[in-house]
């Protein structure tokens, strides 16, 4: 199966209504990622088909759960844009695919490595992602209580994620941890001030591996 066919089939398999031109925009992002990766080593995955599954579809597969578990219980009667920050964003994952899927969200990408932030800025410019802010900074340097939710694929341990990025979240805000197997031992080590709202399995089209979304709430 070609990467193009794989991407179209994967988008169709996710229970979400994507904007017009979602396929074209994701394809452009994938092309940029492949081009830059040859020089700057942004990601260890180089095969386009593997990128589609392990980067693009893996990033987007959490959307139905975010809408059901987070947006449905967010502050009531607010017309403010949903503010999401992707910590340790790397090549812009999952933040850029989510920004393409949800143009009404305000999404920030926090990344300390200069070349990766430069790539993010290039994608933002070429794809005209007005809802994206690129922050080339350490997470500790970003202002507290700035976001409704924090998301990341980068943290190996939930306690580290909460300790380093928890200050970014408003009271009653969320941390969205994208994990592989169910991280029961990590949950047991969570610091005070956070509770697990839910942990749900995620199905990534074309990926034969465990995925979970762990939703933590600041209390």
ω into 143 cis (within 30 of 0)? no
pLDDT per position as a tens digit, 131-164: 999 999 999 999 999 999 999 998 889 999 999 9
Of 198, 202, 207, nearest in space to 70 by CA = 198
Q: Residue 155 in 3-state DSSP?
A: coil
b/e code 34-43 from CB counts within 10 Å (16+ = b): bebbeeeebb
Q: What percent of the chain has pLDDT over 70?
A: 97
Q: Can you tell me the distance from the alpha carbon of 12 to that of 7, in angstroms, rounded to the nearest whole number?
A: 9
11 has pLDDT over 70: yes
pTM, two decimals, is 0.95
pLDDT at 157 (0 to 100): 92
pLDDT band at 1 (very low <50, low <70, confident <90, very high): low
Domains of the chain with CATH codes: 3-218 (3.40.50.150)
Q: Can you tell me the distance from the alpha carbon of 167 to that of 24, in angstroms, rounded to the nearest whole number?
A: 36
């Amino acid at each position: 199966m070609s990467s193009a066919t794989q991407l179209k089939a994967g988008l169709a398999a996710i229970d979400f209504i994507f904007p017009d031109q979602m396929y074209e925009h994701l394809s452009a992002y994938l092309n940029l990622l492949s081009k830059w990766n040859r020089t700057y080593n942004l990601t260890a995955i180089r095969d386009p088909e593997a990128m589609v599954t392990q980067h693009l579809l893996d990033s987007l597969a959490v959307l139905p759960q975010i809408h059901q578990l987070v947006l449905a219980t967010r502050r009531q009667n607010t017309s403010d844009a949903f503010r999401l920050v992707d910590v340790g964003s790397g090549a812009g994952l999952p933040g850029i695919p989510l920004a393409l899927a949800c143009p009404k969200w305000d999404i920030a990408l926090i990344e300390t490595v200069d070349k990766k932030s430069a790539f993010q800025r290039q994608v933002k410019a070429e794809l005209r992602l007005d809802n994206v802010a690129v922050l080339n900074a350490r997470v500790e340097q970003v202002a507290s209580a700035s976001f409704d939710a924090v998301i990341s694929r980068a943290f190996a341990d939930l306690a580290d994620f909460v300790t380093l990025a928890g200050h970014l979240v408003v009271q009653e805000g969320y941390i969205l941890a994208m994990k592989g197997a169910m991280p029961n031992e990590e949950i047991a080590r969570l610091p005070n001030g956070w509770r697990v709202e839910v942990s749900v399995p995620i199905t990534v089209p074309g990926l034969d591996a465990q995925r979970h979304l762990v939703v933590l709430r600041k209390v």
